[in-house]
Amino acid sequence: MDHPSAIPLGDWLHERLKDDAFHTEYEALEPAYQITRLRIMRGLTQQELAHKVVTQQPSIARIESGKRRASMGMLERIAKVLDADLRVTLTPK
């Protein structure tokens, strides 16, 4: 049974993304979410991914949490291990 004050996540997110500060932070975290999703899809733990990209598990955890931004070199290694294309886009403001 739905809670009377519950709203669908998609609706909540749509409303929150109208806030510029929230939108900026949400977009900044998107690469971290993509890495996490792909790692899980590939059936890897953070430890296994770290081993394959020649780093330590805490480094992967910081990247996935958004506490650390990965360098281009690290992103390239992660993309290779996760069998993913890495695309960097610069767009005008």
pTM over 0.85: no
> Domains of the chain: which residue ranges?
9-81
How far is residue 35's CA from residue 78's CA, in Å, rounded to a whole number? 8
Q: What are phi and psi for residue 20, nearest 5 degrees?
A: -60, -45
Of 1.10.1060.10, 3.30.60.50, 3.40.50.2300, 1.10.260.40, the CATH number of 9-81 is 1.10.260.40
**Amino acid occupying residue 65:** S
Which whole-number Å values give the CA distances from 34 to 7, 27, 42, 55, in the listed order?
Answer: 25, 11, 12, 19
pLDDT at 70: 92
- The SS3 of residue 43 is coil
Length of the chain (residues): 93
Tokens of 62: 């910081």
pLDDT tens for each residue of 9-43: 888 888 888 888 887 777 766 889 899 999 999 99
pLDDT at 16: 86
